[in-house]
Structure 1
Amino acid sequence: MGKILNGFLSRLSPTLLALLVASLVIFIAAVDHFIGPEISLGIFYLIPIAITAWYGSLRPAGLLSVLCSILTILIAQQGWQTSTVMLWGGIAHVVFFYVVSGLLVRLKAVLEHEIVLSRTDHLTGLLNRRALFEQMELVFNLARRQRTPLTLVYVDVDKFKQINDTAGHKTGDAVLGAVANSLLAHRRRTDLVGRLGGDEFAVALPDTDHHAARALLTGLNKQIREIQACSDEVTCSVGVATFLAIPNSVTEAISFADACMYEVKQRGGDGISFIVHHRSTRASE
């Protein structure tokens, strides 16, 4: 139920969200006025205030806190004449509503930050394996529905263990970061780039056939070779699998691209191998 409500409120435009909040405030005020001053419903104003703070920002939530506090005072007095006690009560309401709003805004920021961290590879800043697979599922489903080609690139750093052993893990980490930057340099806005783990990376290229993939990846290995580690150039084995018929799962697609990359490894690495799924043509360079 909570997920459904959150999804509904998240999809509302700012105008519709403001109308919803205004309707809630009017409804609560009307019911509070009907019941009378004996029972105050002021606490229920937290509902529209919380919605404003969570899905909007602190400033409108603060303004709404003042408005709701004024309504609470007026309804409690059934008029404009207020006593000192009611005035202090109104101030207390404003402070309470504003503090709750601030806590909600802060909590949302912390949660969003934690979500980003949980989906990001801490070393390279790319999507981690779990986040990459989740995003690729969406891309694969879209390609399957629209019947568009999709290309998956599997990248493995050659002799990475040797780099770690001879130059140290700090240099190895720097190499992984540089390779990640090279992949990002060849990425379009719609492409997905992630680290599968260790020295392996994957790139999903939506709506991209074999020829477009070749054009996009031109110069990738050359750029990677310019990364210096232990006075030796860094090279990668790259497998590029283009799917005209989208596989049933991301794991299956990864296995095709992995096998394509492994062919480059068997030839000594430092190259790119292309394969078109459901076609016999295969190209290497």
Structure 2
Amino acid sequence: MSDKPAATAQARNSRLKLIALAVLVIAMTLTVAGSLWLVQKKARQLALPTLHSELWQAYQIHMAMDRLLLASQDLLKGKLVPDDLVVRVQVLRSLTQPLEGQHLFDFLPESRPAAESTLQRVISLSRQWDEQAQWGDAAATRQVAEQAAESLPRLQKPMHEVMVATNISLANELDAERQHLYDYFTGLGWALLGLLIGVSLLVLRLVGNYREARELSRNLTELNQHLEQRVTERTAELAEGQALLKQILDASPSDVVLADSSGKQVYFVNQRLMQRLSLDQASDFSLNRLFCNAREALHFREALLARHRVDDWEGLLAGEPPYWGVVSGRLLEYRGGPAQLIWSYDISLRKGMEQELLVLATTDALTGLSNRHAFMQRAQELLKTAERFDQPCTLLMLDIDHFKQINDTHGHQIGDKVLATLGGLLKKELREVDIIGRLGGEEFAALLAQTDQIDAMQVAERLRASVEAMPLPRANGEQVRLTLSIGLASRHPAEPLEGALGRADAALYKAKSAGRNRVARATN
């Protein structure tokens, strides 16, 4: 009973040590990151090319003012061309522009309004003269020269005061920066001392871990000696279990395969599946050999790995010939590692019956065209696609003229042959993308994909002419004459199928009323 509390206390102490170590590492990381950030920040500041160049800029402005004054005097005496004075003005402006918005005198021990106003005056005059002096404008340039000759002499001495004030401010600023650098390096020194202490603690911890590892290694050697005998016994038990499993799987009525989770190592494939896939040995098996479609094999494997089980996956499986099958799978443990058990069985007979039922449910037995239900379903899908992509499509309603008279005169057997022959003609004349169906009796419909009303009229006229010229069965030696009336309606935006059918049916009624054997378009 006393061992359990001791073990709990030891585990708690280990967790606390681990937490303290993690906090120490985080603190060291933050210290290094903060120190590097401070060094980089200060290095970028010291690397600026214009750092502490205020005094040099003030001196350059003073010299440029002297040169501009001399140039202005020479221009007024006729010794200088106006464009040369424009150059002097632009030079002065290029020197004063960087100082706009700067605070050169922030570090003065006491404010010097005169120096600040003088500098602002020089900046303002340089801006004014730069805007006024233009290349090739001698009159404007002469006005600038007159203003400069008048203003600059009064600014020479105040500008000297600006240089003095700039020098004093710069000296004070450098003193402040030296103090800041001293503070930075003092902080870095303390940070390095903290890192040294942290590294020392980590080294001590590593030494302790090394001693614990050696003790654990000795204990592990003893455990291995005890486990070897147990492994030998367990191996014999597993061999017996694997032999039994192989017998069970080989006797299974399903096709069974057992492989590792990656599918690269195949442990077992029963004889039935090896014969079906024509495998020479079990290692030749893969999901790509089982499924006809490599993409479907990939999807089955992804589903099995994601869900750990797949039930009743229907697919086309490989074989001679390929067949429809239901595949199931499980992820399990085998030989100490993850494995996958996959089994399948043949459902080709069921699939064939389903296909026959589907054909019977969707096909008109007499004409081979879609019946009314199948036509409505497929036509609605086509209309949705046309609506989504804003494509034209046109609906044709077709009706055999005087079909009741044909039945009454020649009999229903000839009438059925007429319907079947018309169905074959429609499949021959129209495209595979068009949807054709028999709606009932002698009434047919066709939905022409990506076809506007003009093209649809040409198609409808061709159908009408082909039916009129179509060879038909004879009854008692009499010629059966057949004509077709067609109503045409193009798709309206967001219109349901019933609306288009109604408009096409109204157009068909118009064609009947106009004398039959013709094509009529819907008016709306």
Q: TM-score, normalised by structure 1?
A: 0.66
Other structure's SS at 2:522 match: strand
Residue equivalent to 2:420: 177
| Equivalent position of 2:505 in the other structure | 258
Q: Which has the larger radius of gyration?
A: 2
1:90-239 equivalence runs, <5 A: 101-102=345-346, 104-225=347-468, 226-228=470-472, 229-230=474-475, 231-239=479-487
Partners of 2:446 and 2:516 in 1: how far apart?
19
- 1:272 partnered with 2:519: yes
Deviations 1:163-184 (A, max 9, x none): 1111111100110111112222
Say if 2:490 is the partner of 1:242: yes
TM-score (normalised: structure 2): 0.37
Which of the pair has the greater relative contact order for Cα pairs under 8 Å at 6+ separation?
1
Supply the distance in 2 between the matched residues of 1:257 and 1:27 (Cα, whole angstroms).
Answer: 52
Report how far residue 114 of structure 1 moved.
1.0
Q: Deviations over 1:165-216 (max 9, x none)?
A: 1111110011011111222222122111100000000000122111111222
Change (3 A) 1:247 1:254: farther
Write out per-residue CA displacement over residues 250-277 of structure 1, whole angstroms, 9 at most, x where no aligned residue: 1111111011011111122111112364
- Cα distance change on mapping 1:240 and 1:108 into 2, 3 Å: same
Q: C-alpha displacement at 1:148, in angstroms?
A: 2.0
Q: 1:13 to 1:144 in 2, by over 3 A?
A: farther
**Structure 2: which 5+ runs fail to align?**
1-290, 337-341
Change in Cα spacing, 1:218 to 1:109, as seen in structure 2 (3 Å) is same
Number of residue pairs matched by the alignment: 219
CA distance in 2, matches of 1:251, 1:25: 45
Residues 151 and 240 in structure 1, CA contact (< 8 A), matched pair in contact too: yes
Aligned to 2:315: 55
Instruction: Supply the distance in 2 between the matched residues of 1:59 and 1:170 (Cα, whole angstroms).
Output: 45
Equivalent residue for 1:15, pick from 294, 300, 305: 294
CA contact (8 A) 1:140 1:250 kept: yes
Contact conserved, 2:488 with 2:522, CA < 8 A, in 1? yes
Q: CA deviation at 1:222?
A: 2.0
Q: d(CA) in 1 for partners of 2:303 and 2:463? A: 56
Q: Which runs of 5+ in 1 are unaligned?
A: 1-11, 32-43, 80-93, 278-285
**What is the aligned-residue RMSD (CA, Å)?**
3.4
